[in-house]
Chain A
Amino acid sequence: MMKPQHPVGIVGYGAYIPRYRIAAREIARVWTDGQSGTPIEAKSVPGPDEDTITMSIEAARNALARAAIPATALGAVWIGSESHPYSVKPSGTVVADALGAGPWVSAADWEFACKAGSEALTAAMALVGSGMQRYALAVGADTAQGRPGDALEYTASAGAAALIVGPASEALATIDATLSYVTDTPDFYRRADRPYPVHGNRFTGEPAYFHQIQSAATELLRHLNRTAADFTYAVFHQPNAKFPQAVAKRLGFTDKQIAPGLLSPQIGNTYSGAALLGLCAILDVAQPGETIFMTTYGSGAGSDAYALTVTEAVLERRERAPLVAAYLQRAVMIDYAIYAKWRGKLVMG
Chain B
Amino acid sequence: MTNVYIAGIGATAVGEHYRRGLADLVSEAARAALASAPEIAPHQIGALYVGSAFSEELYGQSQAGAYLASILGLSPSIPAYRVEAAGASGALALYQAVQAVQNGVAVALVIGVDKVTDHLEDEIEAAQAMAADSTEEALHGVTLTAQWAMLMRRYMHEYGYTADAFAPFPINAHANGVHNPLALYRFAIDANKYRKAAQIASPLNMLDCSTLADGAAALIVVGEQIARELDRPRIRIAGSAVATDHPALHRRRNPLDLSAARASAHIALGRAHLGVGDVQVWELTDPHGIAATLALEAIGCYEPGTAPRYAAEGAITPTGKTPIATFGGYKARGDVGGASGVYQVIELTRQLSGQAGPTQVSNARIGLSQSLGGIGATAVSHVLIRES
Contact = CB atoms under 8 A, between A and B. Distances in A.
Contact of B16 (A33, A198, A206): A206
A332 B385 CA distance: 67
Contacts of B18: 203, 206-207
B120 A198 contact: yes
Interface string B178-205: 0000000000000000000111001000
A87 interface: no
Contacts of B244: none
Nearest to B19: A207
Contacts of B121: 201
Interface of B: 16, 18-19, 117, 120-121, 197-199, 202, 206
B120 A200 contact: yes
A36 B16 contact: no
A200 B18 CA distance: 11
A115 to B, nearest CB: 21
Contacts of A35: 198-199, 202
Interface string A176-208: 000000000000000000000010111100110
A37 interface: yes
Nearest to A202: B16
B388 to A, nearest CB: 45
A43 B121 CA distance: 25
A206 B117 CA distance: 12
A30 to B, nearest CB: 15
Interface in A194-236: 198, 200-203, 206-207
A35 B203 CA distance: 10
B198 A36 contact: yes
Interface of A: 32-33, 35-37, 198, 200-203, 206-207
Given A203-B16, A207-B19, 18 more contacts: A32-B199, A33-B202, A35-B198, A35-B199, A35-B202, A36-B198, A36-B199, A37-B198, A37-B206, A198-B120, A201-B120, A201-B121, A202-B16, A202-B117, A203-B117, A206-B16, A207-B16, A207-B18
Contacts of A200: 120
12 contacts: A32-B199, A33-B202, A35-B199, A37-B206, A198-B120, A200-B120, A201-B120, A202-B117, A203-B16, A203-B117, A206-B16, A207-B19
Contacts of A207: 16, 18-19
B169 to A, nearest CB: 20
B363 to A, nearest CB: 40
Ranked nearest first, the 10 interchain pairs of A and B with the lowest CB-CB distance are A37-B198, A35-B199, A207-B18, A201-B121, A36-B198, A35-B202, A36-B199, A202-B16, A200-B120, A203-B18
A201 B16 CA distance: 12
A172 B90 CA distance: 64
A207 B214 CA distance: 15
Contacts of B120: 198, 200-201
Nearest to A187: B18
Contacts of B198: 35-37
A35 to B, nearest CB: 4
A232 B198 CA distance: 36
B206 to A, nearest CB: 7
Contacts of A37: 197-198, 206
B133 to A, nearest CB: 26
| Most-contacted residue by chain A among B18, B120, B202, B206 (CB, 10 A) | B18
Nearest to A205: B16
